Structure 1
Amino acid sequence: MQVPLLDLTLQYRGIATEVMPELLTIIEEQRFILGPVVDRFEREMEAYLGVRHAVGCASGTDAILLALRAFDCGRDDEVVTSPFTFFATAGAIHNVGARPVFADILPGTFNLDPAAAEAAVTERTRVVMPVHLFGQMADMPAFRALAGRHGVSLLEDAAQAIGARQRVDGEWITTGTLGDACAFSFFPTKNLGAFGDAGMTVAIDDGTAERLRKLRVHGGRQMYHHEEVGYNSRLDSLQAAVLSAKLPHLKGWSDARRRNAAFYDQALAGIGGIQTPVVGEDHESIYNQYTLRVGDGRRDALADFLRERGVGSGVYYPVPLHLQECFAYLGYCEGQFPESERACREVLSLPVFPELTPAQLEYVAESVRAFFGE
């Protein structure tokens, strides 16, 4: 049996009749950049997330970069974040001229440790950026309190966590509602994915949102009049139309991922040498990834075994950011963030996409059990 890590063709077949007519209309009208289709999607996202402002842009990477610029983050500033995440998190910090400052993660959830992040704050810190990794929110009340104590901006990197929730004071909150801004990616592999690159930054106040809208179109509200140097980071209408068609399905897809994760949790329980994902009692993950910890140096052997049996898997991420060659100038060395480094040696993600069949799920679980002699 073949079980890919992700199969987007199945999702497309389920929504093709909804997506294609609108794409053809946009092509016939030749209105590709921003415009009413993008406006509509932004309003839909505001309603879905319960936020005041949603500003579409060209990618999830740009969503972070635009937010940092909106916070006037630049030369001589520092941004505290996780070394265990996709490169774009720290790359955007570097590209606005600021300095990435890393703090270690919590071993259970893989999310940034609030205590470690606070210890990394200095008088030069302008932004703290927790990452909601693999679909589970970081401890946002702790980060909100941290930002308040130190007078810094709080930026959520929710590239992998659209619609994830956390219970705060008995009330469920979602990504984008406790940070000063929040960045989303609509890369095709995300729970809500476009047909190419696309992203969005949401903001809680009018001034930040207005700044984001200027920055995404070369720094001006009026064509050929530029108040500052911005970027070419506009969300195009074709991608907005795809996302708008997919949005009503998002909850169902995320629910299916949770059901698949629950199956794995039960089927893989008790196997020595692995740890299934840890989800906090007051958290609801959307499982952009279902990520195991595989101890005793056996992660790569398990991945090879699964591949031989036709099962896809992935390592997110093999090298922590503080040990990447391009960040050598920061002066970090091996051993400074042991939990992040250990995660890079142990993580392995299994297929969890919504369209998996019961037979495929059982085959994946049976394959893992077979590797461990269960």
Structure 2
Amino acid sequence: MKFIPVNTPLLNGNELKYLTECITTGWISSEGPFIKEFETKFSAYIGQKYGVAVSNGSAALDIAVKALGIGTGDEVIMPTFTIISPAQSVVTAGAIPVLVDCSLTDWNMNVTEIEGKITAKTKAIIVVHVYGLPVDIEPILSLAKKYNLKIIEDAAEVHGQTYNGQKCGCFGDVSIFSFYPNKHITTGEGGIILTNNQAIAERCQKLRNLCFEPEGPRFVHYELGWNYRMTNLQAALGLAQLEQIDSFLSKKRQLGEFYQKELSFLKDEGFLLPEKSSAQAENIYWVFGLVAPSEKEKEGLIDCLNQNKIATRPFFWCMHEQPIFKQMGFFEKESFPNAEKLARRGFYLPSGLGLENDDLERVVSVIKQYKGK
């Protein structure tokens, strides 16, 4: 029986051609020409002036937080339902994450809760687009203007998604993307920082490269940064992937529509399926998630899929329930019921671009058999 992974990337364009060029020319490090080309073309695709390619999405968040001057004692509002990376970047900068719950419809942060969390210490809001639909960002931009706050837009999961016709990733003072293999386009590992602000872009470029000074002795440093550079090999892969992004997005939506049609019966049994659209966008289906009516039902279905060699992945675990943050004294007695429900009952099905139609049909068939359909 063939194993069906949660994700398989699709590498059927110019990936091999560009990687071969890197090897034959010897440009494999962070100094090669594909890096600038990838930065320029990806930032133009999203609609930002400047792109700074880095080693991964978490590195992009570290740099974004420091580039905006967020530090000790500052508060940063963010969702509790997300991967740990945004909170980790805030905490390691010495700042304080302030959490909001999510919606049970689009699974994104509940925008109506944000203003009540703003204090004199609030420095920024991290907007994380989760799983396929964009955050309703216009009200957040209004709050940022009203209270003079910075916006970090984490668009790692929504390559090519739009909000009212504009690309996600063009709204933040700083926006970040990840190019991990499960994303719509991949560089293996990798990320990028986007901004329209030249000074911020130059600051990010410096921070990703150990804060080398532009002038003076090379190995004399006046502040600390990171070695978070992207390699020419990664950028070559990313460029080939970017050339195919429209077809990738089309395939993702076809995948989502197939699951929606074939698994709609689950709604009658208390499951939540992804919303097909919001007022601002059609779902891009980075992953196809299911939220079971109970933890027991979730585990039973996952066990059945695993027995049939079909992989699944649990939803994110809430930030306010992360043991490491509890140990550090954060989020004492805080509760966010919507996020807790998603974290406990949610998981996603194989959703990668490399899936074949037979794979999708087998996933659906196993679920139907399990449910007696």
- What TM-score range do you get, normalising by the shorter chain? over 0.9
**Which residue in the other structure is 1:292 paired with?**
290
- Identity value in percent: 27
Distance 1:135 1:18, change over 3 A: farther
Aligned residue for 2:39, secondary structure, equals: helix
Deviation, structure 1 residue 296 = 2.5
Aligned residue for 1:130, secondary structure, equals: strand
**Which residue in the other structure is 2:231 paired with?**
236
**Which amino acid letter does the alignment assign opposite residue 218 of structure 1?**
L
Deviation, structure 1 residue 248 = 0.6
Work out whether residues 13 and 241 of structure 2, in 8 Å CA contact, stay in contact via their aligned partners in 1.
Answer: no
1:316 and 2:299 aligned: no
1:67 and 2:43 aligned: no
> TM-score normalised to the size of structure 1?
0.92
Deviation, structure 1 residue 95 = 1.3
> Does 141-150 or 256-265 show the bigger shift?
141-150
Work out whether residues 102 and 109 of structure 2, in 8 Å CA contact, stay in contact via their aligned partners in 1.
Answer: yes
> Can you list the C-alpha shifts for 1:202-227, whole angstroms capped at 9, x where unaligned?
01211111111111112234243545
Count of residue pairs the alignment pairs up: 364
Work out whether residues 208 and 227 of structure 2, in 8 Å CA contact, stay in contact via their aligned partners in 1.
Answer: yes
C-alpha RMSD over aligned residues: 1.8
Work out whether residues 184 and 249 of structure 2, in 8 Å CA contact, stay in contact via their aligned partners in 1.
Answer: yes
Residues 89-108 of structure 1: matches in 2 within 5 Å?
89-108=86-105
Deviation, structure 1 residue 360 = 2.0
> TM-score normalised to the size of structure 2?
0.92
> Can you list the C-alpha shifts for 1:79-136, whole angstroms capped at 9, x where unaligned?
1111111111111111111111111111111111111122222111111001111132
Aligned residue for 1:12, secondary structure, equals: coil
Aligned residue for 1:156, secondary structure, equals: strand
Aligned residue for 1:307, secondary structure, equals: helix
> Does 214-223 or 306-315 show the bigger shift?
214-223
Alignment partner of 1:276 out of 273, 276, 285: 273
1:38 and 2:35 aligned: yes
CA separation in 1, counterparts of 2:329 and 2:166? 35
**Which amino acid letter does the alignment assign opposite residue 252 of structure 2?**
R
**Which residue in the other structure is 1:201 paired with?**
193
CA separation in 2, counterparts of 1:6 and 1:14? 18
User: Structure 1: 5+ residue runs without aligned partners?
Assistant: none
Distance 1:365 1:15, change over 3 A: farther
Distance 1:177 1:14, change over 3 A: closer
CA separation in 1, counterparts of 2:210 and 2:42? 24
**Which residue in the other structure is 2:345 paired with?**
346
Residues 114-263 of structure 1: matches in 2 within 5 Å?
114-167=111-164, 172-195=165-188, 197-222=189-214, 223-224=218-219, 226-263=221-258
CA separation in 2, counterparts of 1:276 and 1:146? 31
Work out whether residues 335 and 341 of structure 1, in 8 Å CA contact, stay in contact via their aligned partners in 2.
Answer: no
Distance 1:285 1:34, change over 3 A: farther
CA separation in 2, counterparts of 1:287 and 1:19? 28
**Which residue in the other structure is 1:6 paired with?**
7
Aligned residue for 1:135, secondary structure, equals: coil
1:23 and 2:22 aligned: yes
Distance 1:130 1:30, change over 3 A: closer
CA separation in 2, counterparts of 1:315 and 1:373? 24
Distance 1:133 1:53, change over 3 A: same
